[in-house]
Each structure stands twice: as C-alpha cells, then as structure tokens.
Amino acid sequence: MNLNEMTVVKTAEAVNNQEISARYLIERTLEQIKNNVKLNAFACTAGAEAFEQADAVDQKIKSGYSLPLAGIPLAVGDNIAYKELPTAYGSAAFRKFKPPFSAAAVEKLIGAGAVVVGKINTGDMGFSSHKALSPAGPVMNPWKENRISESPGSAALAARQCMLALESDSEGSLRQGASSCGMYGFRPTPGRVSRYGLNLSSGSYDQVGFAASTATDMGITFQATSGYDERDILTSVSREAGPKPDPNKAPGEITLAFSPECFDQLDSISAKHLKQFQAKCLDLGFKVVESSLKLLPEALKAFYIIAYAEASSSFARFDGIRFGTAAEADELEDLYYKTRKLTFGHEARRRSVFGTYILSKGNFEQYYQQALKVWTLVRQDFNNAMANCDFLVMPVVSGAAPSGIEENDFLQRIESDIFTAPVSMACLPSLALPAWQEDGLPAGIQLVGHPFSDEILLNVAEMINTETIFPDTDKSAWEEG
Amino acid sequence: MTNTRETLEKAIQVIKIEIDPEERNILHDDLIQFLEWLKPLKALDTSGVTPVRFSHVAVNAFRDDQALSCDLKEVRKAAPNFDEGFYTVPPIIE
C-alpha cells in the first residue's frame, strides 16, 4: 500500500477495514514532519496524546465501530483552541498557553476519528503569515524554495505532513495558500461550522475552514463538522435546512459565471489560464455566462476598514489578567502596556492602532460608517452577479505564490486580497481548487456559491475533478507504507 | 491630514500599548499611505444607502440561561496570576 496515493476517503476505509492501524499512520506522519522541518509548517507537534488518540480509534474499530475520518492525521491552526497542545496565536507570549477547552470543530473531527498531529504556525495573532510575520517566521511553500504559503495547513498537506488541516479564513489566506500549494481550501457559509474556540480578530469575517487534497475529502470533513452548536449563535442558521445537493444533477444543468472585471485585475499569464479554465468548463458541459462584479476595489477598501476596526476592539481582551502571559508590572496600567507589547507583533499593533484611529471622533463617519454603507452595496453587487448563475468562478490571486514579506509593502500585500476578501464580505461559501501550473508553481480558482449551497458547491468541484498533484518533496516516511 | 500624527498618538494611548518611537514613525508613514489608498472609497456616493448592521444572516437565537460547570484547576492553569479563586492584578489603590 503506497500511502502517497491515499486520500482521506481511502485511508479511513483502510483503517476501518483494519488493513492499517491509526497508530501506524500517526507514526509515519510524525516522521514525515521531522523529515522536512525547514517547511516550518508546525508550531508544535503532538507526542503521547496523538498515540493515545490513535489507539482509541484502533480500539473502537476493533469493537465494531466505523469512523468517517478513522486515523486521519489532522493539523490544527495555532489560533484554534486544542486543550492538549499549546495554542500560541503566533505570539511569543502564548507559546506555553494551553486553553482549558478545545474548539467545537476540533472536538467534532476527533469524534469522527481524526488524530491531531500538531498545531500549525500562523502569523502574528493568527493573521496570514504573508501579512504578519510571527516569531516563528514564515511557512515555506513546498513547491519552490524562497516561496511562502499563506496557508500553513495547505503547505503541510502538500508536503504530506498531514491529510487534513483545520484553519481560519478571513481575508482569504486559507484559499490563497491552498491555491499556491495546489490544494483545496474551503471557507463554508458563515454559520455552517461553529467558530467556538477560534481566536477572533474580526468577528464579521473570521471563519473556520479546511484544507484537503480532494473535493470528496472536503465533503466528508464538512459533513463531520457542520451543524448547530449552542456555543456559537451564528450556527443557529444551520437549524434551517439549506438547499439539498442533487447527486443526479448534470453539468448542463449548472450555470457558472465568469466576471470580466476579474480578468481586468489579473496579470496576463493568470488571465490566459483563467480563459483556458473557462473553456474547460464549457468542455465539461457546464453552462458558462458572464456576470459583472463592479465593486471589487471598493469592497477591498471597506473590508480593511472594518477588519482593522474590529481587530482594535477584539484585541482589548489581551490584557494579561485572565489568560496567557503577564508582563512584570507594579501598576495595573503598566501591566496593560507591557503585556500588549509582549503579546502583539508589528501587524497586530498596526491593526489595533489603525482600527482605533478609524473609530476615533472625526474619523468614524468618514471611514467606518462609509465602509458599512459600501458593505451594503457590495452585497447587492454579489446578489446581482449571482442572480443568473449557480456559481461564480473567480481567481484566487493574481500571479503565483508570494516570495515573502518585504519591508514597507503592506498595501501591496493587502491588494493581493482583491478576489478573496470581497467574497468573505458577501458571506458566501467559497472553495479554492487546483486549476493550473505555471513555471513549476500551482495556482487555483475559487468557486463561489449562494449562501448555504456548500454541499452543492463541493459536488460541482467533484464534477470539475481537477487532479491534485503533490510537489516532489521527500516522501520517504510514506513510501515505507 | 494635519492631525493624523496627533490622533495616531492618542490611539496608541487608548490601546494602552508600548510602541517605541521608531515604530511609531513607521506606523505614521503607513497610516498616511493607507488613508491615501482609501480616498476613492470616501468619494463613493453612498447617499441613501443603509449601512450594514448585522454582518451575518443569523438573528437572535435564544436558549435557556444555564450555568456551565467550570474546572477551576484548568482556569488557574490558563491564567497568569490566580489566587484563592480570583484573578489577581497589581494593586490599584495605594
């Protein structure tokens, strides 16, 4: 059995049939992580607790249970709580912090048989490592030296250091990283998966999402994690049934829309590939139409005003009193000042300061209030664009994987979110899937659905059925399988 | 833009965070760039547009108010300073 060719579905089946054990899978995965530490995908790896979980899975299977994610090695974002391992939020101050609870999505995945192999590095305070360097440094892209991945889970997945990753998505880092690593990255409709245990910097945009190597794997993962959770009010929408997927729907009954404005925002190479992808969709039998998205640049600006404002508010809780690390201080005021210096990196300080500036007297109306009005227009823009189609097909980024964090280019990095942040703002489900390769680097497109069309969206991705290709990294730990 | 520096310094004070002078200058320069970048948004005609009030489609979802059990040992482990069932802070009254 060559584990290199195994998907989540096939692997769980092999574990359920007792062809391989969960313990064996975890041993191989931890070895694979050790084989490529230069990738820097993991903040910490599990030890005895992973083997205990794996043994519990093996025991359950011997007792006659069948688990949808039996023994699947799972990587969890370092801004998502898991009580067995430190949850550091990409901050030096939280390196040893163990939350007293696990996130709802982590609980559900473990309940479905997955085994946590480690916490994956995030940028400063959970932001994308493309925008916010954490003390751990950037997560590298396994496809090419000197390129980074915006999604640590996708990098780990592409390097076979896990089979599934759970991480957050706000402005689009998960989808962008999945695209630049040739993987699938899914941001579900807000409310479909509980955010309980996710460290929120922006309550309006942050969502729990997943990285996987096939659309089918993503579907099983989504099924295992979605649903009502009384600890997250947003999931109350999950009580209402969304549109049911129709397994018999043929591509000819599905309309995909491409936006001319997206082509205008792309570099010439990416635009050429997107055109080719459009032709592929026609060949597959989908109906293809044009739909206009007029407000992408404005949406991006409004997105960042609101994201900064919300970050400045939500970071107030890091005061060194209730959790984490406290700085040495003789006075309470001093405790706040010194603890926050210890906790926040440059990007978190920037977001806090800019957000407070935006919300200050005299600026609130012209920036924040204006952004909220533009948000209404952005929703209308997406509603109009999707009125005559089932799904929008959009780029994820223009160009290939980024080369790293350069000084003084923060606006350039913000502008790379022009296709992903507006989708987050419109509260729509979105899946990045592999689409093409250029100069040895993969790139993806995103399928954007109507609210609550998550299952149908994953079905359509299966119909498109792009082959997932893995980089030629060291796979020795797997090949022994 | 004349008051940008002053408002930035006030914002730092409101947040209660130590930021050294060199980084304050970087933040100031970045803020000027950011505000310049936002100019087209300020110019967009939004008269008559209702601002978004709720980011998500969820409306109030009520449930019974129940006290959840809490393991004090776990809370103590997560807190920087904890004593006799309370979080402790530096003295605030002399």
Angle between helix B21-43 and A346-358 (nearest 10): 50
Q: What is the DSSP secondary structure assignment for residue A99, as one 8-state letter?
A: -
A321·B79 Cβ contact <8 A: yes
Q: Please report the pLDDT score of residue A1 as a whole number.
A: 63
Between positions 349 and 388 of A, the ones with CB within 8 A of B are 349-350, 352-354, 356-357, 360, 362-363, 366-367, 369-377, 379
Please enumerate in sequence order all residues whose Cβ is within 8 A of that of A17, keeping only pairs 6 or more positions apart, or say none: none
Low-confidence residues of chain A: pLDDT under 50: 407, 481
B57·A100 Cβ contact <8 A: no
Please enumerate in sequence order all residues whose Cβ is within 8 A of that of A376, keeping only pairs 6 or more positions apart, or say none: B49, B50, B51, B52
Counting the structural domains of chain B, the total is 1
- Find chain A residues with C-beta within 8 A of B67's C-beta: none
Residues pairing with A256 in the sheet: A288, A391
Between positions 391 and 410 of A, the ones with CB within 8 A of B are 408, 410
For the stretch A436-462, pLDDT in tens is: 999 889 999 999 999 999 999 999 999
Q: Please report the pLDDT score of residue A481 as a whole number.
A: 47
| Rounded Cα distance, A224 and A294, in Å | 37
Interface check for A301 against chain B (CB to CB < 8 A): the answer is: yes
For A344, the closest chain B residue by CA position comes to B17
B63·A230 Cβ contact <8 A: yes
- Find chain A residues with C-beta within 8 A of B55's C-beta: 190, 203-205, 427
B71 falls within a domain: no
For residue A424, what are the CA distances in angstroms to A37, A348, A451? 32, 20, 11
Interface check for A423 against chain B (CB to CB < 8 A): the answer is: no
| Rounded Cα distance, A391 and A111, in Å | 32
Q: Please report the pLDDT score of residue A188 as a whole number.
A: 96
CA distance A227 to chain B (A): 14
Instruction: Tell me the residue ranges of DSSP E strands in A313-461.
Output: 391-395, 430-438, 441-449
Q: Please report the pLDDT score of residue A306 as a whole number.
A: 97
Structure tokens at A423: 């989708």
Question: What is the domain extent for residue B22?
Answer: 4-43
B23 falls within a domain: yes
Q: In CATH, what class is A3-247+454-479? A: alpha beta
- Concatenated DSSP letters of A238-271: GGS--PPP-TT--GGG-EEEE-HHHHHHS-HHHH
Whether residue B94 has pLDDT greater than 90: no
For B88, the closest chain A residue by CA position comes to A321
Contact A258, A288 (CB under 8 A): yes
A374·B41 Cβ contact <8 A: yes
For the stretch B24-66, pLDDT in tens is: 999 999 999 999 999 999 999 999 999 998 777 666 777 788 8
CA distance A206 to chain B (A): 11
Residue A82: other Cβ atoms inside 10 A: 26
B9 falls within a domain: yes
CA distance A352 to chain B (A): 7
Contact A213, A254 (CB under 8 A): no
- Find chain A residues with C-beta within 8 A of B75's C-beta: 100
Nearest by CB to residue B11, choosing from A301, A315, A357, is: A357
Q: Please report the pLDDT score of residue A102 as a whole number.
A: 96
Beta-sheet pairing, A115-120 with A207-212: unpaired
Please enumerate in sequence order all residues whose Cβ is within 8 A of that of A63, keeping only pairs 6 or more positions apart, or say none: none
- Find chain A residues with C-beta within 8 A of B46's C-beta: 370, 373-374, 377
Angle between helix A296-314 and A346-358 (nearest 10): 100
ipTM of the complex: 0.92
For residue A439, what are the CA distances in angstroms to A145, A182, A266, A443? 13, 13, 17, 11
| Rounded Cα distance, B22 and A179, in Å | 36
- Find chain B residues with C-beta within 8 A of A323's C-beta: 78-80
B14 falls within a domain: yes
For the stretch A20-63, pLDDT in tens is: 999 999 999 999 999 999 999 999 999 999 999 999 999 999 99
A312·B61 Cβ contact <8 A: no
Interface check for A427 against chain B (CB to CB < 8 A): the answer is: yes
Interface test with B, best of A357, A418, A427, A450 (most B CBs within 10 A): A357
Whether residue B74 has pLDDT greater than 90: no
For B22, the closest chain A residue by CA position comes to A346
Q: Please report the pLDDT score of residue A244 as a whole number.
A: 66
Q: Please report the pLDDT score of residue B1 as a whole number.
A: 47
For B14, the closest chain A residue by CA position comes to A356
Q: What is the largest CA-CA distance in chain A?
A: 70
For A310, the closest chain B residue by CA position comes to B55
Q: Please report the pLDDT score of residue A480 as a whole number.
A: 53
Average pLDDT score, chain A: 92
Q: Within 13 A of A314's CA, how many CA atoms are on the CB side?
A: 19
Residues pairing with A378 in the sheet: none
Of A444, A425, A388, the C-alpha closest to A298 is: A425
Q: Which CATH number fits the domain that encloses residue B28?
A: 1.10.20
End-to-end CA distance of chain A: 6
For B33, the closest chain A residue by CA position comes to A411
For A370, the closest chain B residue by CA position comes to B42
Q: Please report the pLDDT score of residue B58 as a whole number.
A: 64
| Rounded Cα distance, A141 and A470, in Å | 12
Between positions 171 and 190 of A, the ones with CB within 8 A of B are 190
